[in-house]
A = this chain, B = another copy of it.
C-alpha cells in the first residue's frame, strides 16, 4: 500500500485529497494541519505572499520528513502538500495529514512533520506589505 503522498504545486491545495489519501480501514484517527496566510505579521498588514521553492530538493526533503515520521511514530500514512507562487490572505500554503491507529501518535507525528518542514524544506516566503516586501526570516 502507498503510504506517502508528496505534492508541490502552484495550484490550490486540497485538504480533502490529503485526508482521502491517508484514510485507511485500520486507521482510527486522522490529524491534519492546514496553514493559512495571515493578514498581518507583527502588527503590519500583509497584502499577499509569494512562495518560491527549490523544487527537486523541496520534494526530496518533504519525502524525508514523511519517511522519518513513519519510522519514528506508530502511524499508517502521511500526505504533505505545499504550494508555490502567489497566495492571497486566507489561502493555504501547506497541508499535512497523518493517519494512525491511535490519535496520540497522529497528533505528535503531524506536529513534528510541520515543525520539521519549516526547518528543512527549501521553500522561501516573501511577504508583501503596502510599502514593500520582505523575505521572511532572512535577516536576524
Binding site for B on A (CB under 8 A): 15-16, 19, 23, 25-36, 38-40, 89-90, 99, 101, 103-104, 106-107, 110-111, 114
In the assembled complex, the Cα of A15 lies from the Cα of B114 at a distance in Å of 20
With both chains docked as a complex, state the minimum distance between the C-beta of A92 and any C-beta of chain B, in angstroms. 9
B29 to A32, Cβ gap below 8 A?
no
Which residue in B31, B38, B99 is a CB contact (below 8 Å) of A32? B31
Contact status A90-B23, CB under 8 Å: yes
A36 to chain B: which residues have CB within 8 Å? 23, 27-30, 99
Nearest-Cβ distance from residue A101 to partner chain B, whole angstroms: 7
The complex places the Cα of A99 from the Cα of B30 at a distance, in Å, of: 17
* Count of chain copies: 2
Q: Say whether, besides A25-B90, A36-B27, A110 and B107 are in contact (CB < 8 Å).
A: yes
A29 to B31, CA, bound (A): 13
Known: A23-B90, A36-B99. 10 other contacts (CB 8 A): A16-B16, A26-B38, A27-B38, A28-B35, A28-B36, A33-B106, A103-B111, A103-B114, A104-B111, A107-B111
Residues of B contacting A34 with CB < 8 Å? 19, 29-32
The residue from B15, B23, B33, B101 contacting A103, defined by CB atoms under 8 A apart: B33
